[in-house]
Structure 1
Amino acid sequence: MRLSESMRGWRWWQGSAGVFRAGVGVLLLGLSLAQSVPPQGACPTAVAQQSLTQPKYEDTEEQDAGAGFMAALVQSFLHTVQPNPFPEDLILKLYHDSQKVQFNQELLKEILVYQVGFLVCVAIGVLYIVLMPIVGLFLACCRCCGNCGGKMYQKQTSSINCRRRTLYWSAFVTTIIIFAGNICMFRSNEALNVSVDQSTVELNKTIDNVRTFLTSVPQQIDYVVNVSYKTVQEVTENLDDIGLQLGTKIQERFTGTLDPALRSVRLLHQVTQDTSVQLKTLNSSLVELQSSVDDLQANTTAVKNKISQTLSNSDCIGCDTLKPELEKLTLDISITVPSLSEFQSAVDEVIKTNLESKIKEVEYYFNSIPQKVTDETKEVVQSSKQQLSEIETQISKVTNDIPLTALTDVNRTLNQVQGDISRVTPVIDKAEHIRWGVCVALCCLVLLVVACNLLGLFLGPVGLTPKSDPRERSCTANCAGTFLMMGAGFSFLFSWLFMIAVLLLFLLGGNVYTLLCKPWSDGKLLQFIDTQELIPRLDIGQKLGLESNITISDIYSDCEKNQPLWSTLHLYELVNLGDLLNVSKYTEEIQQHFENTDITLSTFTFLTTDVKNQLSSFSAKAKNVDFTSVTQQMNNISSINLNTTADKLDRLAATQTNNAIRGELQNEAMNLRRIQINIETNIFPQVEKLNSTTESLRSIAENINGTVGEVLSNVGAAQDFLDTNTTQIVKTESREFLDCQLSYFIAYADWANLTITQQVGRCGPVAEAVDSGEIILCSHIVESLNAFWFSLGWCMIFFIPSIIFSIKLAKYYRKMKYSDVYDNHIIMNHIPRAQMRIT
């Protein structure tokens, strides 16, 4: 069964030999083109470098401090007060002549002209502060003298109720306006307190974010450099493993041609072994069968002689007719296989060539390629590793050329600032607590005036009877008038003090907004700071060693867009990144070393000419073996049938009258049957075995020609391939291996260039820190402060109509000492008309 499967496999190989030859031709064509078009996927892709992980920053978004609702109103007022643009020239003059300001009349005049809006407001405030207590004092004295409404007498007229209602609603509206301003005072005071409390925390967060940014920049640079170390290490490991990597690639190029040749030689070797075994089996079967046939011939001849003697007896009746039958009992059988000995000798010669050793030689040659590559490239690998160390040194210069020490100095300054903040924070908290308490007291005093007015406005209508006598007004109505007078009195008493607070806070908060917050918001402040006349040594470009100057406005603008430090600080003027990351000046030398290295693989001969001739002779002699004659001889043996002659002897014995002759004939017929049984039991199985061996050997011999032809074809193609393409394959694969290693550096250089120029040091946190400072100081603290003085001033302005309306309305509710009755019913007397009488 196994032999028949093997034969089917051989027939398949024989049928596909043409297809295989065509495949070899295509492979050779592809190899000829490999010099210009490297195979896809020949170089394993290096691990893709990840983008830099940006540091995590704390969220510095401020909560709404609560004073933003009045920002638009206050800013509109301040813009009206100070419509002039940011005074850059004036501040520069003050900066340079700060010691002589009091003697420079023109400068003082310029300052006063610029601050004319504030001066007008200050003048109004001073007038308020001066007049309010004076008016209050005169009013009090006048009323004590019974004037200015001090006399407890109210004249009753027809319009008294209308006047009372008008004064009532005027006082009510004025009080509500004051109350609204008082609510704004409470809210802005609380907003200012929250802003101050949060400012320290938010400022620390901002400083922490800037410190995180400054710390991350060197770490990011180190990461980029460390990746170069990993790349160098990876290429170094690949060079150390060049035997396995490059040798394996060369082996893969040989595999397509060597494998078919080796498979065909292995198969031929197996077929030769099987043929030798079959020949041995055939020879032993022939010897065994010939021995059995010789015994058969001897026995048959003995029986034939006895039958001949019996038939020659004169008493035998009709025996002459059976004598021709004796001629058929001659079994002269000699089994021979023509040309079998020659075929045997050819097989023996092929076995002597030891095809298995040839296969092992080819396998050893194939498996020794990696070690051969390692041995041949020791020097170039060593020189390449030296070049790699120089590349590593060159790339490490990036950290030396970039001025990272400046970042360290800034970080140290931030630490000092944060320490100062920590020391000052308790003092600020204590001062803020006092400020908050004072402002709450101010708010409560204003609320006291509002409360007196509201109580008077509430109790007056409740306790007043319009038609009652002014002397008989109820106690409730009298209390209403008293509360209204108290509100007016408190207003006179505290308003001028409140106006002092308004004036001071107005000068502070208003100027901070117009001179700091407003230009900070629209970018003019940074542009002003960039003025060299203000800070002569603030030349960032010069400090960094740049040819061009960098302004703070430029830095802020770039950081606001979250640009990297490479473009923000013009680091390309300091670091020639293209030269640092230009590995071609080293790789060219490495390429030259590889080009000069000759990796030679020793020549190898698959099959010598003698072996090929022996195989050809083996194939030819396999065709000369005449297996047909052997089959015919087997058929002759299989056709032997002695029972026929024995039956004729039995019939002849039946016709005999002589019992002795009859017995002899019957015994001889019985002997023939015994011989026939011996043939059937011994000879025929041997014949079948010999026939099976012959058929197997015939199948092998019929396919040997195709097998040997395929071996010679595949081996010839492989030999031609090795002789023609080995050198070129080694050069091509060496070049691809080198290009693969250098591609790692090209990929790294591109990644490093992109990372340093676009990802390292994205300075968005710096712009956010500036914006956070503007939010903390201006959007919350200054806005809350301005909202407070604006609300307080609002209340003070409306104190004036409140005083007037309260004093006038109080007389309509207080109990009078003198009565005045107005009678609305007038009696009309009829006056008779004069008449003229005509006579």
Structure 2
Amino acid sequence: MKCTAVSLSLVWTVLAILAFMSFCRDGTTTEGAVDPRVDGDGNIVWGNFDPIPPSNLDNSFESISRPQIVVNMAHNFGVLVVNGLPYDAIRQLLYGIQDGSLNGNSEIYWQLAGGFVGVIILILFGIILFLLVPIIGLCFCTCRCCGKCGGKRTQVDSNLGCMRVTLPGMAFTNSANDFQRGTLQAADDVFYTATDGFNNYTKDVLKQVEYMVDVQYMFVDNLIRENLTENTIGKDVTEYIRKDLRVGEVEDSLNTISADLKSAEIAMTGLQSGRNELVQSERQLESNLTSIEAEIQSINDSCGNCLKPFDIVVESNFTLLPEVSDDEISDIGTGASSVEEATNEIDTSLTAIENELEAATNESVKQALDALDATKVTVEDAFTGIEDAVKKIENAIKDVQRDVDTIVSDYNQYVDYGWYFFIAVSCTILFILVVMILGFTMGTICYSRGSPLDRSKMSNAGGNCLMAAVFFMFLFFPILILLTCIFFGVVSVVTSTCDPLTTLELYKETVDYPNTIIPGYFLGDVLYDNSSYPVTFSGALESCQENHTLYNAVMMEYAFNFNELKQEFEKLEEEFDKFIGDIEDIPLNFDVFPDDLGNMLSSLVEEVGLSDFDADAYTTVLSQSILSEPTLNSYADYLDEKADNHSGQSTEMQKAASDLRNIQTSLVSPMEATVDEMENDVDTVNGVATSLPGNVNDTIKLLKEVETAIGSVNETEVAKNVTQVYVDALIAYGDSFIAQTENQVTNEFAGCRNIWDIYSLTLQYSCDNVLDSWNSIWFTIGWCTFFFLPSIIVSVKLAKHYRIMNKVLPPKPKKQKNTRSPDEEVGMNEMNGYHSNAYDERLLYQDGGRGGMTPVDNPQFVQDEPIMAYDYRGNPIAPPPAYNYGEEFRNPLHNSYF
């Protein structure tokens, strides 16, 4: 059950990691891994795995050209409209979705709408314009396109402010379209950057998992397995006997005595053989020197005593050396063998104890190995579950990448389609502006201050262009305002989440807020099936921002409890404890010394007979020179010199010199070497003979002390204590592994800074590029659409001054007060060019504006200043009144007109 619990815990750990990474939307040189080792005290010196390298994500999308002014204006406008999110309403909405209480509960929607009231008002305003502008445009254009009215006869100056403002709006629309296209085209690069960063992260995590399993745990497993396989309990007990009970010191002392006796035996053998060689060589040397002396005397006789006498003789007498018998050598060898046999018996006794202990614990060792195998399988399976889960996600990411590869071409094509669409929108706005500017230009250049019935065709075309621009504005206004409302309504709300997502406030106020989606904490329930665990998205992301481990980021202690892993090793401890029970049933005896060891040592010095060895007798003889001269080669060199001066005896002299050198090489030099060897042997035997009594006495004393110590201990308790130390060492290996793993997992394993980098990259791209591009689109389209309204008014007002009219209507008379005097029948201010009081009353002409007369209408009319009134009515000298071509006469004509 414990093994299953550990496996499930580890699997849930992986699920926690994966769920967290998925929500986040989803490797500089590194230090090399160091393998663990065991120091001289038997403690594990742990290494470490490779740390996860920094993500180094590519932010190449930052180079995309962006209309910063438009982006800032759109962003600030959105902030002004949506100033903060209605978190209370969002929480209630999430809770209602979870428990199904939204049906019939309109209060939540009203609260949510209240949080986005600015967006809703603007959208409603846009919808009203979408519905009203086509109707108004239809009526307006129908009224103004008949060509039968013109209003005032003179042009009223009007500026092109609206057109000048609309023109940069159109340019900004095109720039925003390019910004959006570049952003969307970089989406696949950002996607690959994020997924590659995630894949690199998972690979580094797998390497760390493999290190903890394949290196660290396998090191501990092999260490425990080797100790169990070797079953060192017997060795440890015998080691205790040797060291703590000092049996080893006795063995060392006996080995020293045995070695000394063996060296003395060899030295005595050398003295025996060396004496024989020297005596024999001495005799040969004396014979050879006698022959050489006879040859030299013969040569000397033949050359008339040309040579000095040969007086080199043998001075040594090796026959005086003491003889060494075979019995003496045998006695020394026998003593050495006795000591060596005693040592071997001690070793045999210790080996028997060792074998006895191993045999008694073999069954428990097998059971412990079986338990170790089970623990190994459990740990490997658990970590294999982690590896498999991470590999599945890695493969899933690769599958997604492959799918993206297949649709990238289509995606880019759709991006191009969208770019073409907004190019069409920009061109539509540009077309309207061009038509409007063209009409204004033609109308202004060709305008004449004359009768509306007598305007030029170019001026009339200018007016028609303005009315055409008005028509297209009315035609495309609903489409543009609809696009603006849709994009603004969606994108502005989504954009309002960017800052809360960056500061993590959105998580804290929604999914991380207790009792929002479910009672308790949502992420705790998702990851660990327990909503009481305070696991939050914001807490995890903040931990990753500080490069904490995933274990701390998602509080994996709720899923992976190290106590469960400790329990696996506690099972091993139970198996190890069986060793002590096995030891209790064994009758142990640590008395490993032979019974006659003390007696043998006591008689050893006398039996070997080294106390009678006379080193001075050897030294006296061996210290003498072999020859009277240091070497025969000096006389040989003398003969060679004489041979050069005595050609008759040169051959005999050279032969004698050669014989001398041969004697020196073959006899004298070997004898000297033998003398040196015998001197060393004498020193060896003498040293052993001198030290042997003391060594034997020390060994006998030590033997008694050790026997006393052995007799004072309880063999079974000693064996149990030693076994407990052995068991504790095995358990310490497991505890050390658990402590190391816990430290690594909580402080070093899978530092999740890369997850924060991926999250930041995705959020930055989504907000600063994707959403900003859409914001700039709706803002610039809305800009142009908004200024269409005053542009329509200006264009219509200008068009009536440029177009040729079919009929000119007089200005509408102004209402005036009656200012007549009591004696006047008609006041002067009521005389609108005519009156009906008298026959001879002339027609008066009042013209509120500047006018003229064409030759066609009145060939005899000469342009003059307008005559507003006459002081002397009926005076034939007065000039005729101006011809009023805008109104028929209603009184009989005065005779002055004829």
The normalised TM-score by structure 2 is 0.57
Question: Which residue in the other structure is 1:351 paired with?
Answer: 330
**Counterpart-to-counterpart distance in 1, 2:614 and 2:438:** 138
Alignment of 1:278-317 (within 5 A): 278-281=274-277
Q: Which shows bigger deviation, 420-429 or 771-780?
A: 420-429
Deviations 1:229-255 (A, max 9, x none): 552333323444467997999999879
* Residue of structure 2 aligned with 1:491, choices 473, 486, 492: 473
Question: Which residue in the other structure is 1:752 paired with?
Answer: 741
> Could you say what secondary structure the match of 2:473 adopts?
helix
TM-aligned CA distance change 1:203 to 1:687, over 3 Å = closer
Question: Which residue in the other structure is 2:120 paired with?
Answer: 119
* Shift in Å, 1:791: 1.4
Alignment of 1:46-125 (within 5 A): 48-51=46-49, 63-64=61-62, 69=68, 70-89=70-89, 92=92, 96=96, 110-125=111-126
* Residue of structure 2 aligned with 1:580, choices 549, 560, 565: 565
Question: Which residue in the other structure is 2:430 paired with?
Answer: 447
**Counterpart-to-counterpart distance in 2, 1:100 and 1:695:** 114
Deviations 1:430-476 (A, max 9, x none): 87676554433222212323444566788899x78999999999999
* Shift in Å, 1:121: 1.4
Aligned CA RMSD, in angstroms, stands at: 6.5
* Shift in Å, 1:498: 0.8
Question: Which residue in the other structure is 2:577 paired with?
Answer: 589
1:277 corresponds to 2:263:
no
Deviations 1:316-335 (A, max 9, x none): xxxxxxxxxxxxxxxxxxx9
**Counterpart-to-counterpart distance in 2, 1:771 and 1:239:** 52
1:187 corresponds to 2:185:
no
Question: Which residue in the other structure is 1:793 paired with?
Answer: 782
Q: Which shows bigger deviation, 557-566 or 686-695?
A: 686-695
TM-aligned CA distance change 1:577 to 1:706, over 3 Å = same
* Shift in Å, 1:620: 3.5
Alignment of 1:672-711 (within 5 A): 701=682, 704-711=685-692
Report the AA paired with residue 233 of structure 1: N
Report the AA paired with residue 80 of structure 1: L
* Shift in Å, 1:43: 4.4
Asked if 1 retains the 8 angstrom alpha-carbon contact of 2:462 and 2:802, the reply is yes
**Counterpart-to-counterpart distance in 1, 2:357 and 2:803:** 119
* Shift in Å, 1:548: 3.7
Asked if 1 retains the 8 angstrom alpha-carbon contact of 2:577 and 2:727, the reply is no
Asked if 2 retains the 8 angstrom alpha-carbon contact of 1:52 and 1:755, the reply is no
Q: Which shows bigger deviation, 791-800 or 397-406?
A: 397-406
Asked if 2 retains the 8 angstrom alpha-carbon contact of 1:246 and 1:373, the reply is no
Question: Which residue in the other structure is 1:641 paired with?
Answer: none
1:603 corresponds to 2:593:
yes
TM-aligned CA distance change 1:628 to 1:113, over 3 Å = closer
TM-aligned CA distance change 1:115 to 1:54, over 3 Å = closer
* Shift in Å, 1:217: 7.5
TM-aligned CA distance change 1:242 to 1:465, over 3 Å = same
> Could you say what secondary structure the match of 2:614 adopts?
helix
* Residue of structure 2 aligned with 1:378, choices 350, 358, 369: 358
Question: Which residue in the other structure is 1:657 paired with?
Answer: none
**Counterpart-to-counterpart distance in 2, 1:701 and 1:209:** 79
* Shift in Å, 1:793: 0.4
Asked if 1 retains the 8 angstrom alpha-carbon contact of 2:209 and 2:383, the reply is no
Q: Which shows bigger deviation, 135-144 or 793-802?
A: 135-144
1:173 corresponds to 2:174:
no
TM-aligned CA distance change 1:226 to 1:733, over 3 Å = same
**Counterpart-to-counterpart distance in 2, 1:392 and 1:286:** 78
Alignment of 1:24-423 (within 5 A): 42-43=40-41, 48-51=46-49, 63-64=61-62, 69=68, 70-89=70-89, 92=92, 96=96, 110-130=111-131, 132-134=133-135, 136-137=137-138, 139-144=140-145, 154=154, 167=159, 170=161, 173-191=164-182, 193-194=184-185, 220=209, 224=213, 227-241=216-230, 264-281=260-277, 344=324, 348-354=327-333, 357=337, 375-379=355-359, 380=361, 383-394=364-375
Asked if 1 retains the 8 angstrom alpha-carbon contact of 2:173 and 2:777, the reply is no
Gaps of 5+ in 2: 1-37, 288-316, 629-665, 711-717, 809-849, 854-863, 866-898
Q: Which shows bigger deviation, 401-410 or 442-451?
A: 401-410
Asked if 1 retains the 8 angstrom alpha-carbon contact of 2:454 and 2:804, the reply is yes
TM-aligned CA distance change 1:586 to 1:74, over 3 Å = farther
Q: Which has the higher contact order (CA 8 A, sep 6+)?
A: 1
* Shift in Å, 1:188: 4.6
**Counterpart-to-counterpart distance in 1, 2:765 and 2:488:** 19
**Counterpart-to-counterpart distance in 1, 2:184 and 2:263:** 98
Q: 1 or 2, which has the higher helix percentage?
A: 1
The normalised TM-score by structure 1 is 0.60
Report the AA paired with residue 500 of structure 1: L
* Shift in Å, 1:622: 0.8
Asked if 1 retains the 8 angstrom alpha-carbon contact of 2:258 and 2:340, the reply is no
* Residue of structure 2 aligned with 1:508, choices 473, 485, 490: 490
Question: Which residue in the other structure is 1:304 paired with?
Answer: none
**Counterpart-to-counterpart distance in 2, 1:80 and 1:134:** 32
Report the AA paired with residue 75 of structure 2: Q
Question: Which residue in the other structure is 1:675 paired with?
Answer: none
Asked if 1 retains the 8 angstrom alpha-carbon contact of 2:433 and 2:469, the reply is yes
Question: Which residue in the other structure is 1:309 paired with?
Answer: none
**Counterpart-to-counterpart distance in 1, 2:564 and 2:142:** 93
Asked if 1 retains the 8 angstrom alpha-carbon contact of 2:255 and 2:340, the reply is no
TM-aligned CA distance change 1:413 to 1:614, over 3 Å = closer
* Shift in Å, 1:220: 3.1
Asked if 1 retains the 8 angstrom alpha-carbon contact of 2:89 and 2:111, the reply is no
Identical-residue share of aligned pairs (%): 18
> Could you say what secondary structure the match of 1:550 adopts?
coil
**Counterpart-to-counterpart distance in 2, 1:194 and 1:147:** 54
**Counterpart-to-counterpart distance in 1, 2:187 and 2:468:** 36
**Counterpart-to-counterpart distance in 1, 2:342 and 2:44:** 34
**Counterpart-to-counterpart distance in 1, 2:391 and 2:671:** 104
**Counterpart-to-counterpart distance in 2, 1:630 and 1:72:** 114
* Shift in Å, 1:744: 3.7
Report the AA paired with residue 611 of structure 1: L
**Counterpart-to-counterpart distance in 1, 2:61 and 2:114:** 39
**Counterpart-to-counterpart distance in 2, 1:403 and 1:540:** 25
* Shift in Å, 1:792: 0.6
**Counterpart-to-counterpart distance in 1, 2:776 and 2:401:** 29
> Could you say what secondary structure the match of 1:581 adopts?
helix
Q: Which shows bigger deviation, 793-802 or 251-260?
A: 251-260
TM-aligned CA distance change 1:230 to 1:512, over 3 Å = same
* Shift in Å, 1:784: 2.8
TM-aligned CA distance change 1:222 to 1:193, over 3 Å = closer
TM-aligned CA distance change 1:179 to 1:245, over 3 Å = farther
Asked if 1 retains the 8 angstrom alpha-carbon contact of 2:455 and 2:803, the reply is yes
**Counterpart-to-counterpart distance in 1, 2:115 and 2:676:** 126
Report the AA paired with residue 116 of structure 1: V
